[in-house]
Amino acid sequence: MSAFGEKLNPYRKIREPRGVKGIRQSVVITNNPSTIDQNQQLLVRFPNLSSDNIIVPGTVRLAFEIEVKSTSDANATVYPNIGRSIIKKTTIRISGNEVMSIDDSDIFHCYVDLWKSPSERANMVYQGIGKSNMLKHRVNAGNASKDKQDEAIAKAYGNRFCIPLDFELLETHMPFYQAGLGDRLEYELTFNEYNKVVKSTDKAASYVIKNICLEFDTVSNPELARQIRQQVSGKMVILYDRILRHRKITKNKSDTLWNINLNVPARSMKGILMLFEDSERTSPEDYYNPEITKVEMTIEGIPNQLYSQGMKAYQQWDEITKFFALNSKRNKETNIIIKDLYFTEINIEKYLTDSYALWLDLRSTDDNSLHGSGRRIENASEGITIQITKEEGADEPLNVYLFVIQDAQINFEDGRFKEIHY
């Protein structure tokens, strides 16, 4: 900023002249197949568009229509955030080369979406986030109560929902240009069991998925396409977070001491996320708090890592906001403001009750715009040992999901996939 300040800056301007003139279009392509059932895998391949067409970042999604089936429960409905909860495994490939595979992706992504801002979540009705009464109207549940706003949303969207396809190649980098790549981007999505999607007293209730379509926005402009083609035809690097569901462990709530070992070598490990699923969980957006009082870490045989005297309960909120108190992958400035102001749906009260997770941040600094600042883990035999001290709970099972997040990159050369580093 100049010495004249923002408003008196003699070079001040809000707009950039000579804006690009391109033909914009919202594209809907029916997938083949266009129907799917529980536990089945759906392959989504990105089409080759014309040589002047690019896909606008942040616009790609997979839309579908759902019908809830029940012979005895007229009030059967769907769980919130169906766009995430309906997918239990997400695999991303580039012409058969696996880039990322996330088991229990519904558990991970439903939690991440809780950290979006209240206003963004309020407008994510296409993904299925919102009031339960609104969802009842959209799937014609018998006990939907009258509400002008819910009915208006149901009239506009009906029983059509969407699954975000928000891998970094489609979100955080240049516009996606499939025509310039010699390799095809593919998603393989495994659909969840009926009881993870349909909320009903009828244990035999099911869903029917139909009219599956790939949706995205395109812009056609020869000069824009030419500049992107130049980058793609040389050496191109795509930076992304590699999410690995390392293990799913069953523990007992009555235990007061847990020992957990991870053997995951990494060039740059951002952190470890633990999510806890109660057997009495009633929503995919509820996460159990096991009342952890102390966390001690040993990394590659060296004790007292991360916290010299162990991480206490009062430090867990500060730790998780280092990484999850963000909103948009596409705008660094927005991320900074939201993180500084804690402008997320989750506040400390929600976090400590039904939106809990344990996050162990292994980066040098909590700057989310940096790539490669994670901890290097080389000794896989020693790995990471986590000792958790907690309050004694009821004698009941508890599912613990361990996710590891690593810095990763895809290298392209001459328009072709070359290799992955993580």
27's tokens: 């594209």
Are residues 265 and 228 part of one domain? no
Residue 33, preceding bond cis, omega within 30 degrees?
Answer: yes
CB atoms within 10 A of CB 298: 16
Q: Is residue 15 part of a domain?
A: no
- Rounded Cα distance between 11 and 3, Å, is 12
Using the 3D structure, point to which of 208, 233, 258 is the last residue of a domain: 233
394 located within any domain: yes
266, part of any domain: yes
Percent of the chain residues topping a pLDDT of 70? 96
Q: Are residues 271 and 329 in the same domain?
A: yes
Residue 65, domain member (yes or no) = yes
Question: Are residues 357 and 251 both part of a single domain?
Answer: yes
Q: Are 166 and 289 found together in one domain?
A: no
CATH number at residue 99: 2.70.9.10
Q: Which pTM value belongs to this model?
A: 0.94
Last residue of a domain, which of 184, 212, 233?
233
Last residue of a domain, one of 211, 233, 255: 233
Residue 1 pLDDT > 60: no
For the stretch 113-140, pLDDT in tens is 999 989 899 999 999 999 999 999 999 9
Rounded distance between C-alpha atoms, residue 218 and residue 175, angstroms: 9
Q: What is the pLDDT of residue 95?
A: 87
**Does residue 249 share a domain with residue 126?**
no
**Contact, 412 vs 235, CB < 8 A?**
yes
Q: What is the rounded average pLDDT for all residues in the chain?
A: 93
Residue 191 has pLDDT above 80, yes or no: yes
Distance of CA 263 to the CA centre of its chain: 24
Question: Who wins on pLDDT, 314 or 279?
Answer: 314
The mean pLDDT value for 401-405 works out to 98
Burial of 173 (0-12, 13-18, 19+ CB in 10 A): middle
Residue 11 belongs to a domain = no
pLDDT of residue 126: 98
- The domain of 290 spans 241-422
Whether residue 162 is contained in a domain is answered as yes
Whether 192 and 258 share a structural domain = no
For residue 346, what pLDDT is reported? 92
CATH code for position 334: 2.70.9
Domain membership of residue 14 (yes or no) is no
CA distance 373 to 269: 8
Q: Are residues 88 and 123 in the same domain?
A: yes
| 260 and 336 part of one domain | yes
User: Residue 337 above 80 pLDDT?
Assistant: no
How many angstroms separate the CA atoms of 138 and 159, rounded?
A: 5
Clarify whether residues 304 and 409 are in a common domain: yes
298 and 349 in one domain?
yes
How many structural domains is the chain composed of? 2
Please tell me the distance from the alpha carbon of residue 409 to that of residue 236, in angstroms, as a whole number: 10
Residue of 325 and 25 predicted with greater confidence: 25
pLDDT of 177: 94
176 with 139, same domain: the answer is yes
φ, ψ for residue 120, nearest 5 deg? -65, -45
Nearest to 91 by CA among 37, 161, 43, 162: 43
Cα–Cα distance for residue pair 40/59, rounded to 1 Å: 25
Exposure of 353 in the CB half-sphere (CA atoms within 13 A): 5
Instruction: Provide the pLDDT confidence category of residue 330 given band limits of 50, 70 and 90.
Output: low
209 and 295 in a single domain? The answer is no
Vertex 153 angle, CA 149 and 155, to 5° = 115
Cα separation of 304 and 19, whole Å? 55
Residue 326 has a pLDDT of: 65
CA angle 362–364–365, rounded 5-degree value = 105
Q: On the CB side of 211, how many CA atoms lie within 13 Å of its CA?
A: 10
365 lies in a domain? Answer: yes
The three-class DSSP label of residue 320 is helix
375-381 CB contacts, 8 Å cutoff, 24+ apart: 375/266, 375/268, 375/269, 375/299, 376/266, 376/267, 376/268, 376/269, 377/264, 377/265, 377/266, 377/269, 377/299, 377/300, 378/265, 378/300, 379/300, 379/301, 380/263, 380/264, 380/265, 381/263
Beta-strand pair 198-199/77-78 = antiparallel
